[in-house]
Amino acid sequence: MSVRAKFRCTTIAHAFTNNPEYSAATITLVPVWEQEGVNRKWSKATPSGELKMMITNPEAVEQFDLGKEYFVDLTPAD
């Protein structure tokens, strides 16, 4: 079984170092409340939680925009 959840990007915190190869960003995502939609399948009431990732690949960081919504798919890693 898998769970699909919709999250919104609320924070993109860049951490810079003297070496650009080692720069990083912490991305924070929170669940989206919606009357209908994908989140109603896993959260019958107001969804709560937070997903926080430190990303050290600049190309991956560029995939996130503040305020934009993203799907998070959770499947067993057998």
Of all residues in the chain, what percent carry a pLDDT higher than 90? 55
- pLDDT at position 28 is 98
- List all residues 6 or more positions away from 66 whose beta carbon is below 8 Å from its beta carbon: 9, 10, 11, 12
Cα–Cα distances in Å, from 54 out to 21, 34, 43, 67, 76?
A: 14, 27, 26, 18, 22
pLDDT tens digit sequence for 27-55: 999 999 887 778 777 887 788 899 999 99
* pLDDT the model gives residue 33: 87
Tokens for 2?
């898998």
